[in-house]
Chains A and B, each alone.
Chain A
Amino acid sequence: MDRAKSGGSPSDRRAPLPASRQPRRPRPGVPAIVARIREDAQQDPGAYIEECEVPAGGE
């Protein structure tokens, strides 16, 4: 494989992305939703897991 054509290995240092392509950060409000998810996940997880079973699988 020609690493030059491929753009290099993951360990190569890339030039910083332009401002318009800066990584998006989670929007405000997400931490609150994550906390709500964490709370809900602790309600009857065993029963939930059983209810989601697909006994014979599918295609």
Chain B
Amino acid sequence: MDRAPAVGRLLGTETEYAIRFRPDEGVAHPGNQVLFEAIRAAVERRVLTRPCSNLLEAVLTENGGCLYYEFDASAPDGGLVEGGTPECVAPRQLLVYQKAQDQLLTEATRDAESELRDRGLAGELRLLKNCRDAQGHVYGAQESYEVELASGVSLLAWWVAMGGLAAASVALTAVLWLVQLLVHGLFATALLAGVLAVAAVLLVTRMPTTTLGRYLQRAGRALDVIDRLEARVMGVAFAPVVALASLAVRLFAFRPHHQGATAFLASRCVFTGAGTLMPDDGFGLSEKGPAMRRLWRWTMSPDDRGLYEIGHLFKPLLPSFRARFGGLRLPRMDLDGIRGLFRRRLRLQIGLSDANLCEVAEYLKVATTSLVLDLAEAGQLHGAPELADPVAATQVIGGDPTLRAWVPLEHSGNMTGLEVQRWYQERAREWVEQAEVRDLEAWRVVTLWGEVLDTLEAHPEALFGRVDWITKLHLISSAGDLAWAARKKIDLRYHELGTGYFAWLDEAGACQRLIEPSEVVVACRTPPPGSPAEERGRLVRQLAMHDEPAAPPIAIEREEEAEAGRVIDFAEAARRRRNPPPEE
């Protein structure tokens, strides 16, 4: 064996919470950005925070997490609240911080509802921790695991590919700069000439000055059209960069992980799925599963979803238009992000991830995945099932609540989702048992994993309150004679934080808890010990408590933060704390 098994790598989750607002009679819906700002302000009253510099409307919290408004340019008032946990060093620790984030947002949403009412925006404000609405739009959860990107020739090839793509991106951005300056220069010239001409006409003809106002409004709309056209041109210009980056990932990056773990990921919805009532009245185990299109995305299109999410690897190669120079938005490259692509350890992000409420499901989701990644890196997944078509397998396994559906393997034979999971659980159990020093949490994970698989085989209904899709299926089946809309409301309202149907069951003691409420309370205000987030949290507290409004906003880099111009390497600080130098 290469090393002792340990469920201990950096890991974290990002969760997009849907915003639901039902205004009182006579009140107009203010748009989700206003609602987010109220929730953010409520968070800022509960815990210490600092604004982020490179995420719009974002704050860092004193426990090292972050909160921001996630939206698409096509629907700026239809955005989501996105929360990122601090980096954690163990799955149980991550469960605590995920629950802390959920609780903080539950309380802040309640406060925000009162504050909005005082401002004349009375209504019912709620957050939903789910991944799919009734119209089929998909959002929600992603998991991140720090893994070794590559080694040897593959690593060298990756560096060469990233170097070439970075150079191409910088060159394309320079061309975009010039084109934008030219276009905006011509526009400004035309606008000035137009203003002078209209003003002259108004003086001569004595027409009302509202004419000038209408002219300027039209000019503003023309500028919006130019901005949208520039965004389209940028998308087309950089599409080859994104496609080549995706190819580089397929060929050189995360090879032991995706070669060994894909079948595990495609089938883990048997205990991680949140469940969803489909428009055709069928029931699927996973909310996100039906939206998966491929293993890795080829483009930045939101519909191009992959089991593995690699958009975070493309983003540094694409210019950002958030920089403003005197009102002109010029493209800017993220040079720090590009530098980050050359690190040996990067985030492997899982796109096929449902947002969970049951603690057992949420814990097993990240714990089993982290353990399987350990197995992959230790070369312990020889003979792992290879699915003929992982994406199709996701749909087949996810579409069968009886758990009996078979999926074909690459070479020969078939397996059910449970059988695939059983293979990985057995392999993990052997590996943990054979370790010279048994990792306690790893042992707990394989034991709990085995129990859940046993129960799924024998009496799946006994996992009520432990696995989300089983809990939700029971509730929906109990309302089998009701109209589809009522049963869909059960599906959705199950996920309402603090006030939804899962919360009703949890308060009645029907859901198994793995962590103590006191742990969650502490985690709302304290970063995870032993994590790079400790330094981030310390910095947030220091700057917030000393009330330095002139202090620079903190960039959300996970490895480095800037304090008044001084760069702090959080990973190095965490290593120094774990291994302090000997006293002289």
Contact = CB atoms under 8 A, between A and B. Distances in A.
Contacts of A52: 18, 20, 128, 133-134, 492
Which residue, of B142, B409, B489, B509, has the highest number of chain A Cβ atoms within 10 A?
B489
Interface string A19-56: 00101111101100110111011100111110111111
Name B's interface SS: mixed
Contacts of B258: none
Contact of B478 (A34, A54, A58, A59): A34
Given A1-B415, A37-B475, A54-B78, A48 B493 contact: yes
Contacts of B422: 6-7
Nearest to B485: A45
Contacts of A34: 474-475, 478
Interface string B118-159: 000000000010000111011110100000000000000000
A17 B454 contact: yes
Contacts of B309: 59
A59 B479 contact: no
A30 B505 CA distance: 7
A41 B138 contact: no
A33 B510 contact: yes
A48 B311 CA distance: 32
Band of interface residues on A: 35 or more
B505 A33 contact: yes
B508 A30 contact: yes
A10 B72 contact: no
Contacts, number: 153
Give the most central of B74, B82, B478: most A CB within 10 Å: B478
B485 A24 contact: no
B21 A46 contact: no
Given A25-B462, A55-B137, A6 B423 contact: yes
Contacts of B311: 59
Contact of B134 (A1, A30, A36, A53): A53
B504 A36 contact: yes
B159 to A, nearest CB: 27
A55 B138 CA distance: 10
A45 B504 CA distance: 18
A21 to B, nearest CB: 6
Nearest to B475: A37
Nearest to A37: B501
A40 B510 CA distance: 19
15 contacts: A5-B426, A14-B458, A17-B458, A23-B455, A23-B458, A23-B462, A33-B505, A36-B504, A38-B479, A48-B492, A53-B78, A56-B78, A58-B72, A58-B139, A59-B142
Given A36-B504, A54-B78, 11 more contacts: A10-B416, A21-B454, A37-B490, A40-B493, A41-B493, A42-B482, A49-B485, A55-B137, A57-B72, A58-B138, A59-B14
Interface of A: 1, 5-7, 9-10, 14, 17, 21, 23-27, 29-30, 33-34, 36-38, 40-42, 45-49, 51-59
Closest 10 CB pairs of A and B: A58-B139, A23-B462, A56-B72, A45-B485, A45-B489, A57-B137, A56-B75, A55-B78, A23-B459, A41-B486
